[in-house]
A = this chain, B = another copy of it.
Amino acid sequence: MTDDLHLRVQRLEDEREIACLIASYGPSVDSANADSAANLWAEHGTYDVEGWRMDSRDDVHAMVSSQSQRDLVANGCCHFLGPCVITVTGNTAVALCESLVLLRRGEEYVVWRATANHFELNRLDAGWKIVSRTSRLLNGNPEAHGLLRAGLVGERATLNR
């Protein structure tokens, strides 16, 4: 009875930790905090945005540190990720959310991107980390729809495989 409870509490904690991890992405990027953003990924975790592929935590660090990202932050940007659908299976998990990127223009903000985001995560010694993130614009691209469909049922993304 208590053992069963332990497993159920562990599951809730896993989902909470993953939700918190993903909720940390926007604030990390929007403050040009490359260490914080990179630390969400496993050392060899990947991030594929519209086919541009980062292959490691270091690549994510370099992206957040880049001049183009710093220019976005200096002008004012907001990476706004929504609530996740999370499916934990032992030491692996899939999470799905949609996200917006807003840019300041004059006295207002424009929505530059609306995106489907599919995450694969592993439980490592340092906690849950992203091993694969795949993001595609919601612009009619069937790859975006495939990410949404896979994420809804906790399946891995098959894009590019």
Q: Spell out A's residues near B (CB within 8 Å).
A: 1-2, 5-6, 8-9, 12-13, 15-16, 19-20, 22-24, 26-28, 30-33, 36, 73-86, 96-98, 100, 102, 104, 107-114, 116, 137-140, 144-146, 148-149, 151-152
Contact = CB atoms under 8 A, between A and B. Distances in A.
Nearest to A75: B140
26 contacts: A5-B6, A8-B13, A9-B12, A15-B16, A19-B83, A20-B85, A23-B84, A23-B85, A27-B85, A27-B116, A28-B152, A31-B116, A32-B145, A33-B152, A76-B137, A76-B140, A78-B138, A80-B82, A81-B83, A100-B109, A102-B111, A102-B114, A104-B138, A108-B110, A108-B112, A109-B113
**Copies per complex of this chain:** 3
Contact of A2 (B2, B84, B98, B111): B2
A15 to B, nearest CB: 6
Given A20-B85, A82-B83, 7 more contacts: A20-B86, A30-B116, A31-B146, A31-B149, A36-B152, A80-B100, A82-B82
Residue with the greatest number of chain B CB neighbours at <10 A, chosen from A12, A27, A79, A116? A27
Contacts of A19: 83
Contact of A111 (B12, B30, B111): B111
Nearest to A15: B16
